[in-house]
Amino acid sequence: MTDPAAVPAERQGSDAARPGPPLWLLLELTYRCPLHCVFCYNPTDLSNVGRELETAEWLRVLAEARALGSVQLGLSGGEPLAREDLETIVAAAHRLGFYTNLITSGVGLTEARLAALQAAGLDHIQLSFQDSTRRMNDFLSSTRTFELKSRVAALIRKYRYPMVLNVVLHRLNIDHVEEILDMAERMGADYVELANTQYYGWAWRNRAQLLPSRAQLRRAEEATARFRERVGRRMRVFFVVPDYFEVRPKPCMSGLGRVFLGIAPDGVALPCQSARMLPGLDFPNVRAASIRSIWYDSPAFNRYRGEAWMKEPCRSCPERGRDFGGCRCQAYLLTGDAANADPVCALSPHHHLVTEAVAAAERQAGAPALAAPLAFRDYREVTRADSRADTLGRRPK
């Protein structure tokens, strides 16, 4: 999926009063998922999530968003293949003129469904892997899915889609980057995204166990550079550095409410997938409001547009037009105030919160055991109020 940051500036909204259209629409069709990934960005508490939208409601969202100017459509979850109406939704999106991208673990992508999705007009598929080894892939997702994913990768090639693999990196698999890239090459990948974990949702909960050390990061970057040199243009490899190791933040979502519109499974409209946990914002629901009014008029979508909300040091910083003060969710998670500068920024008075987390990861690097048990995403558990962390010793189902 194209990062919204890649959308040319002249096509983005440039002021709070009249933003541009929501060019990038992401439908999180369901939070149901057969996997239990320890880095999942979905909410850790689903007790406030209502029932999933019906097919007709999703189709209305598509039509309204397209009329407003949305062009790129991501279909994700959870696992979007858990929705039996996925083909119907893809067909409607295709007829409306969206570029459609399925973001999937591959579980449920049988040849019959792939053929039906292609007939419906699906443009693009992004397949996730957890690791190059069955043992780690299955452990991290708490499932036995490694062989299944390999079969799905072959199917994707058979149906002549570009082979796009996504692997989330963290302390437990970042030392396998060379093997991961070799695996991708054997599978005939065209693009590989090595995306270091961003610390939201379940990854935030597991941050102490997942944050790599600087030495691990350096070795992974070196392995990536060697691989790129060897394969040349045959395969493109994107390496997304964990922003905890930077001194300036990413322009998250190209600024909230500028190009990205996400719809959660229950119809809640979000300016970023993780924004649901931000306090004090009453996110509108597509069941009660039109996409147009949500995008242009709702207080929640207008809250972080423009620059009036910014505090120092962002308010007077010459870089504020480039990074919009970084990530609101990260600012909230780390400092308790989403209007603060993202603490990744070395100019932030809270930057020490990031450097201390990295220092703790350095101390933990090389230790034989994890500092604490990993919490596995578990849909059934988190729908209960007393969701519990699981233990490292948990066996794949």
Residues that bind ligand SF4 (CB under 6 A): 248-249, 313-314, 317, 319-320, 323, 325-326, 341-342, 345, 347
Question: If DSSP states are collapsed to H, E and C, what string results for 285-326?
Answer: ECCCCCHHHHHHHCHHHHCCCCCCCCCCCCCCCCCHHHHCCC
The least distance separating ligand SF4 from the CB of residue 339, rounded to whole angstroms, comes to 11
Nearer to ligand SF4, 108 or 313 (CB): 313
The least distance separating ligand FES from the CB of residue 359, rounded to whole angstroms, comes to 23
8 Å CB contact between 192 and 181: yes
Nearer to ligand SF4, 219 or 351 (CB): 351
Nearer to ligand SF4, 3 or 362 (CB): 3
Nearer to ligand FES, 213 or 274 (CB): 274
8 Å CB contact between 269 and 262: yes
Enumerate binding residues for ligand FES (CB under 6 A).
Answer: 200, 252-253, 256, 272, 274-275, 327-330
The least distance separating ligand SF4 from the CB of residue 2, rounded to whole angstroms, comes to 23
The least distance separating ligand FES from the CB of residue 237, rounded to whole angstroms, comes to 24
Spatial CA neighbour of 157 closest among 127, 179, 182: 127
Residue 257 contact, options ligand FES, ligand SF4, none, Cβ 5-8 Å cut-off depending on partner type:
none
Residue 342 contact, options ligand FES, ligand SF4, none, Cβ 5-8 Å cut-off depending on partner type:
ligand SF4
Sign of CA dihedral 158, 159, 160, 163: negative
Residue 329 contact, options ligand SF4, ligand FES, none, Cβ 5-8 Å cut-off depending on partner type:
ligand FES
The least distance separating ligand SF4 from the CB of residue 340, rounded to whole angstroms, comes to 9
Question: If DSSP states are collapsed to H, E and C, what string results for 247-282?
Answer: CCCCCHHHCCCCCEEEECCCCEEECCCCHHHCCCCC
**Letter for the amino acid at 222?**
E
Beta-strand pair 191-196/269-270: unpaired
Please report where in the chains the tokens 């968003």 appear, as a residue: 65
**Letter for the amino acid at 110?**
T
Nearer to ligand SF4, 19 or 249 (CB): 249
Residue 66 contact, options ligand SF4, ligand FES, none, Cβ 5-8 Å cut-off depending on partner type:
none
Residue 313 contact, options ligand FES, ligand SF4, none, Cβ 5-8 Å cut-off depending on partner type:
ligand SF4
Task: Give the angle 258-264-268 at the CA atoms, nearest 5°.
Answer: 75
